[in-house]
């Protein structure tokens, strides 16, 4: 993923999450779609993500147009579309892709979340037997409300200008954590990100306690602190440090799978570096 030594093993996220999120982040930063617009751009973005999965050897059970999740239908019978579903023996990753000409709203995240709940409420064994993680992959920025909603429900948001939480978590468990600008935050990130990046089952398990008044799924103040203090402020510092160590760290990730992308895609090198 990144050229740093792993220093922690206990408390790590599933390896597939690090792989999918780092690759998705490189894709949304470097994939060039300047000649495309509207639905054509969205379909091409889906195709680019499928190319990434092929390059990384990730098995897709559903693609755009599918009306199931891991082969299961929804509890309501509504034919929700799944853009991409990655299935491994011990994890399922449900991916929603968007490449809009405007900011992603909270409604897009709410619809994606409801899809997962509807599928999970079917009780189908292929879904309930493995943790189901959700990833919202966007070619443009998310609104602040969309980011807050994603954290509340454990959804990993991937957008071009914000370092994703699983990438920060991987760095916190690597030799990068010894860098002066990151050392102070690394312990907190290592401890808290697995609470914020959660399976749908884990979020559902917490609901009864919320209904009984014992706790919140995540407090509003905790979500705000994490967005502003960790993902934004600390994430920006980490990004600058990564660029200082290796200005082409993101391009190196992209190059690992770029030959598998559809021919219309190419790397937009000029937009890769942080301003």
Each residue's pLDDT tens digit, 62-116: 999 999 999 999 999 999 999 999 999 999 999 999 999 899 999 999 999 999 9
Number of domains the chain contains: 1
**The two three-digit tokens of residue 132, written as one number:** 């189901």
Is 9 part of any domain?
Answer: no
In a domain, 242, yes or no: yes
pLDDT tens digits, 185-208: 899 999 999 999 999 999 999 888
Q: Binning pLDDT at 50, 70 and 90, where does residue 271 land? A: very low
Asked whether the predicted pLDDT for residue 129 surpasses 50, the reply is: yes
Q: Is residue 68 part of a domain?
A: yes
DSSP string, 76-107: S-----EEEEEEETTEEEEEEEE--SSPBPHH
- Give the number of other Cβ atoms within 10 Å of residue 46's Cβ: 20
The answer to the question of residue 8 being in a domain is: no
The answer to the question of residue 138 being in a domain is yes
pLDDT at residue 183 in the model: 83
d(CA 200, CA 156): 11
Which residue range(s) make up the domain with 99?
A: 15-265
Question: Does residue 129 form part of some domain?
Answer: yes
Q: Half-sphere exposure (CA, 13 Å, Cβ side) for 8?
A: 19
Per the domain annotation, does 270 fall within a domain?
no
Q: What is the pLDDT of residue 82?
A: 97
pLDDT-based confidence at 273, cuts 50/70/90? very low
Residue pLDDT, tens place only, 131-157 = 999 999 999 999 999 999 999 999 999
Mean per-residue pLDDT, 21-39 = 91
For residue 243, pLDDT over 60 is answered with yes
What is the per-residue pLDDT for 35? 82
DSSP assigned state of 138: E
Q: In which band, very low, low, confident or very high, does the pLDDT at 1 lie, cut at 50, 70 and 90?
A: low
Q: Does residue 274 carry a pLDDT above 70?
A: no
Report the b/e string of 11-31 with b at 16+ CB within 10 A: eebbebbbbbbbbbbbbbbbb
Sign of CA dihedral 157, 158, 163, 165: positive
Residue 186 located in a structural domain: yes
| Cβ count within 10 A of residue 89 | 5
CATH code for the domain in which residue 169 is found: 3.40.1350.10
Residue 269 above 50 pLDDT?
Answer: no
What are the beta bridge partners of residue 88? 91
Q: What is the pTM (predicted TM-score) of this model?
A: 0.91
């Amino acid at each position: 993923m990144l050229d740093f030594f792993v220093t922690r093993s206990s408390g790590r996220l599933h390896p597939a999450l690090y792989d999918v999120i780092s690759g998705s982040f490189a894709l949304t930063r470097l994939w060039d779609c300047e000649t495309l617009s509207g639905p054509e751009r969205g379909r091409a973005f889906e195709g680019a993500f499928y190319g990434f999965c092929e390059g990384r050897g990730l098995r897709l059970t559903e693609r755009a147009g599918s009306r199931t999740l891991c082969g299961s239908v929804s509890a309501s019978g509504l034919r929700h579309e799944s853009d991409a579903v990655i299935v491994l023996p011990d994890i399922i990753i449900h991916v929603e892709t968007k490449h809009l000409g405007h900011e992603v709203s909270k409604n897009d995240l709410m619809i994606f979340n409801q899809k997962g709940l509807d599928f999970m409420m079917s009780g189908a064994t292929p879904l309930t037997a493995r943790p189901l993680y959700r990833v919202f992959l966007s070619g443009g920025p998310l609104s602040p409300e969309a980011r807050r909603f994603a954290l509340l429900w454990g959804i990993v948001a991937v957008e071009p200008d914000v370092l994703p939480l699983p990438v920060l978590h991987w760095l916190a468990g690597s030799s990068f954590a010894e860098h002066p600008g990151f050392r102070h935050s690394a312990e907190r990130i290592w401890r808290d990100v697995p609470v914020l990046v959660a399976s749908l089952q884990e979020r559902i398990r917490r609901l009864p306690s919320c209904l009984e008044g014992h706790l919140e799924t995540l407090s509003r103040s905790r979500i705000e602190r994490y967005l502003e203090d960790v993902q934004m402020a600390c994430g920006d510092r980490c990004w600058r440090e990564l660029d200082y160590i290796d200005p082409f760290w993101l391009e190196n990730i992209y190059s690992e799978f770029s030959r598998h992308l559809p021919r219309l895609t190419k790397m937009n090198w000029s937009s890769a570096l942080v301003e």
